[in-house]
Amino acid sequence: MKKILITGSLGCLGSVFTEYFTERGYDVVGYDTGFFKKGILYPPKPVETVLRDARDITEKDLDGIYAVIHLAGISNDPFGNLDVAKIYDPTRAYARAIAEMCKKRGVKFIFASSCSIYGKGGDEVLNEESPTAPQTPYSLNKLQIEQDLRELAAPGVFSPIALRFATAFGISPRLRLDIVINMFVASAVGTGAIVLNSDGSAWRPNVHVQDIADAVRRAIESDWNNGLLVLNVGDEKNNMKIIDIAKLIAGQVDGCEVKFAGEDPNLEVMVKNPTMAGAKDTRTYQVSFERIKTTFPGYSAQWSIEAGTADMVKKLQELHFSESDFKDPKFYRLKTIADLYDKKYLSEDLRWLKEY
């Protein structure tokens, strides 16, 4: 039985991963600082969890570990007056430190990167060799960590795998609503409307959380040993324009309407878009996923956007998901962190000041 350590295990993806890998016979240890431990949609299955900041991982934590899945990090861009460097420099530093420990101990290192590093692509379909153009500090941070891993990598010695996830969607015990498809589904079910803060013309690649977990499992089982491996994770069928995604979801919920914030200043937008230029979103890109299919034979994303959103609609309706649930800050990463910071639970460098 392979023992794996998942950093960020109490997040949206982490909560899916701990269940996914446990069910498939892995010995799973979660590692999380606990920012989002109370953001529960439905009870997650219990797993051994170390409640500690990723900055404090030591070599001893890697005893008996076969692979580290590194999810921990800041999922969105900074809030208030906090300095970008204070938010992202530590995440880069601890990602490198953990990777260095894995290299020393012979532990596999799987890094959760992001297709958002492509930034601007328009109608061109981008692959792993395409130029990158990060539009936010979050995306730049992912690219910088990849660069650090490339420096550390050594064929036959340390061969980390950076998986560039398309935008995740799908149900999780700790649901995130600050990602586009999840937000649209939750808004449709909870409020009967989907509000766009752009014209919806931007392209996005998307991937279901279960397909992400499957890609990570294949990375763990891979015999890759030739330095850093970078793979996009998703499927071309899930490259879609924002407006088309909104219309698809609206059609799955009786009476749901698609509205535009720019046409009605009274409409509430739950998450402000940091890459807006007028009504246009500067982040627009389509992505190729051919390399992962050839590198991990048999891999293909099983969930289409239509099937995945229909599943989410059904499950949220069964949970009687309401408008107050949709507006609950616990489902929004920056709102949660900002609230913890404002209430003096967290320092400026996001260290715990008191028990939460």
pTM over 0.75: yes
pLDDT tens, position by position, for the chain (356 residues)?
Answer: 899 999 999 999 999 999 999 999 999 999 999 999 999 999 999 999 999 999 999 999 999 999 999 999 987 665 556 677 778 889 999 999 999 999 999 999 999 999 999 998 767 899 999 999 998 899 999 999 999 999 999 999 999 999 999 999 999 999 999 999 999 999 999 999 999 988 999 999 999 999 999 999 999 999 999 999 999 999 999 999 999 999 999 999 999 999 998 887 878 787 766 554 445 677 889 999 999 999 999 999 999 999 999 999 999 999 999 999 999 999 999 889 889 989 999 998 889 999 98
| pLDDT, position 277 | 46
Tens digits of residue pLDDT in 152-207? 999 999 999 999 999 999 999 999 999 999 999 999 999 999 999 889 999 999 99
Beta-strand pair 203-208/276-277: unpaired
Interacting residues of 180 by C-beta distance below 8 A, sequence separation 6+: 167, 169, 204, 206, 242, 245
How far is Cα of residue 232 from the mean position of the Cα atoms in its chain?
A: 13
Q: Is 73 exposed, middle or buried (0-12, 13-18, 19+ CB in 10 A)?
A: buried
Tens digits of residue pLDDT in 130-146? 999 998 899 999 999 99
| pLDDT, position 297 | 93
In the chain, what are the domains? 3-242+271-342 (3.40.50.720)
| pLDDT, position 86 | 78
Distance between CA atoms of 325 and 323, rounded to whole angstroms?
A: 5
Distance between CA atoms of 353 and 6, rounded to whole angstroms?
A: 24
| pLDDT, position 267 | 80
| pLDDT, position 266 | 78
Residues making up the chain, counted from first to last:
356
| pLDDT, position 276 | 45
Angle at 117 between CA 186 and CA 35, to 5 degrees: 50
